């Protein structure tokens, strides 16, 4: 097992843009060249990658599929026999079409390059792949992420603990909220539950269940983590640090907005991912890509911050732990 922080500033890192295929080139570098994960199938502007838990990440960066060069389809599935032959995808195509199961790789001028950051944990127990792009060169990010492993569940028995996030929109808007990588707050009747999809329910009976993150620390005005109405300024005026907490995910036990009988309000924790606990529009002094160490959390713990919505973080943001041991808060 290894954990990697990979960025566009690294020597040898490929450029990301809105040009067809650029996203696949970057994912090849992060997942295969750096992370050592296997590329199981390849085609022009398409890839299938074997994830740490054995699932497949299916990626297509081609405007004939997505509708725009600056949109890249990313979808997880339990297995794949060919580049486009996916078994038990999450989300399913019926839930989120290929042209909506996307994130933005760049600006409306396809050749323009943008900064990007990735955190990859190759462990089968705490695996994750979080990817962020400064898609409009405006200091806030779009992104795609997946997490899965045997040690991330809150339940005593859970063989399907994996979740995929999607933008779930085919809109061409460059709006910060629409492209936020932290737009998955809510669940079971609060906020939105149409951006994150679990592999299956814990008992395996329901495939591609809707999921949402649990909000703490006050009310939210935009359904995005870190965007807390009347929350404290960032960083803290007391000690100059960022406050953060772990993120748990619900399980609706359903493929639709109507919850099923086996609802779980706390199904799993997102490994290495944290929500900042500060007020809306207070993140202006913390640029995307800012890193720090925190020995009070762990001897070698290091974190990186991503800002959403605007250069002031009007839609909050996310924090990812890229070094040191991550421990499930549920024990």
- Give per-residue pLDDT as tens, 129-180: 999 999 999 999 999 999 999 999 999 999 999 999 999 999 999 999 899 9
Q: Does the pLDDT value for residue 190 go beyond 60?
A: no
Q: How far, in whole angstroms, is CA 319 from its chain's centroid?
A: 11
Q: How many CB atoms lie within 10 A of CB 36?
A: 11
- Give per-residue pLDDT as tens, 239-286: 989 999 999 999 999 998 788 999 998 999 999 999 999 998 899 999
Q: Does the pLDDT value for residue 222 go beyond 60?
A: no
Determine the pLDDT at residue 256: 86
**Contact (Cβ atoms closer than 8 angstroms) between residue 165 and residue 184:** yes
Mean pLDDT rounded to a whole number for the chain: 93
Determine the pLDDT at residue 213: 80
Percent of the chain whose pLDDT exceeds 90: 83
Determine the pLDDT at residue 212: 87
If you average pLDDT over residues 63-87, what whole number do you get? 98
Q: Residues 6 or more apart from 313 whose CB is under 8 A from it?
A: 140, 226, 227, 234, 280, 281, 282, 283, 284, 286, 307
Determine the pLDDT at residue 188: 57
From CA 287, how far away is CA 12, in angstroms rounded? 23
If you average pLDDT over residues 44-67, what whole number do you get? 98
* Assigned token pair, 149: 């492993």
Q: Does the pLDDT value for residue 232 go beyond 60?
A: yes
pLDDT band per the 50, 70, 90 thresholds, residue 192:
low
Determine the pLDDT at residue 114: 98
Q: Does the pLDDT value for residue 323 go beyond 50?
A: yes
**Contact (Cβ atoms closer than 8 angstroms) between residue 197 and residue 89:** no
pLDDT band per the 50, 70, 90 thresholds, residue 220:
very low
From CA 303, how far away is CA 77, in angstroms rounded? 29
From CA 196, how far away is CA 223, in angstroms rounded? 13
Please give the span between the terminal C-alpha atoms of the chain, in angstroms, as a whole number: 20
From CA 107, how far away is CA 232, in angstroms rounded? 32
Q: Prior bond to 235 cis, omega within 30? A: yes
Helical (H) or strand (E) element with 23: helix 22-27
What's this model's pTM, rounded to 2 decimal places?
0.96
Q: Residues 6 or more apart from 304 whose CB is under 8 A from it?
A: 5, 117, 119, 289, 290, 291, 319, 320, 322
Extended beta strands in 116-256, E state: 116-121, 127-133, 142-148, 162-165, 186-187, 190-191, 196-200, 207-211, 244-251
Residue 64 dihedral angles phi and psi, to the nearest 5°? -70, -20
Among 41-45, 211-215, 273-277, the range scoring the smallest mean pLDDT is: 211-215
pLDDT band per the 50, 70, 90 thresholds, residue 218:
very low
3-state secondary structure of 43: strand
Residue reference for tokens 């060919």 = 82
If you average pLDDT over residues 277-302, what whole number do you get? 92
Among 33-47, 202-216, 293-307, the range scoring the smallest mean pLDDT is: 202-216
């Amino acid at each position: 097992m290894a954990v990697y922080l990979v960025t566009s500033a690294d020597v040898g890192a490929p450029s990301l843009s809105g040009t067809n295929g650029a996203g696949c080139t970057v994912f090849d570098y992060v997942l295969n060249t750096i992370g050592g994960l296997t590329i199981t199938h390849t085609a022009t502007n398409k890839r299938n990658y074997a994830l740490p838990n054995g699932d497949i990440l299916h990626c297509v960066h081609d405007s004939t599929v997505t509708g725009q060069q600056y949109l890249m389809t990313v979808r997880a599935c339990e297995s794949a026999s060919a580049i486009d032959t996916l078994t038990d995808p999450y989300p399913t195509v019926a839930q989120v079409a290929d042209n909506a199961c996307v994130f933005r790789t760049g600006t409306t001028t396809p050749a323009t390059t943008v900064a990007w950051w990735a955190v990859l944990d190759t462990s089968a127990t705490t695996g994750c792949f979080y990817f962020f792009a400064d898609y409009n060169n405006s200091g806030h990010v779009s992104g795609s992420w997946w997490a899965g492993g045997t040690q991330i569940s809150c339940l005593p028995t859970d063989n399907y603990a994996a979740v995929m996030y999607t933008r779930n929109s085919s809109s061409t808007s460059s709006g910060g909220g629409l492209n936020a990588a932290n737009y998955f707050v809510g669940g079971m009747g609060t906020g939105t539950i149409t951006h994150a999809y679990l592999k299956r329910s814990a008992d395996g009976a329901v495939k591609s269940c809707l999921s949402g993150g649990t909000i703490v620390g006050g009310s939210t005005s935009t359904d995005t983590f870190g965007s807390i109405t009347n929350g404290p300024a960032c960083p803290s005026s007391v000690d100059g640090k960022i406050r953060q907490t772990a993120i748990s995910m619900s399980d609706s036990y359903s493929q639709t907005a109507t919850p099923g009988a086996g609802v779980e309000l706390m199904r799993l924790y997102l490994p290495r991912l944290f929500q900042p606990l500060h007020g809306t529009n207070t993140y202006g002094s913390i640029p995307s890509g800012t890193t720090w160490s925190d020995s009070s959390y762990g001897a070698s713990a290091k974190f990186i911050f991503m800002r959403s919505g605007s250069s002031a973080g009007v839609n909050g943001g996310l924090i990812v732990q890229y070094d040191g041991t991550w421990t499930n808060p549920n024990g």
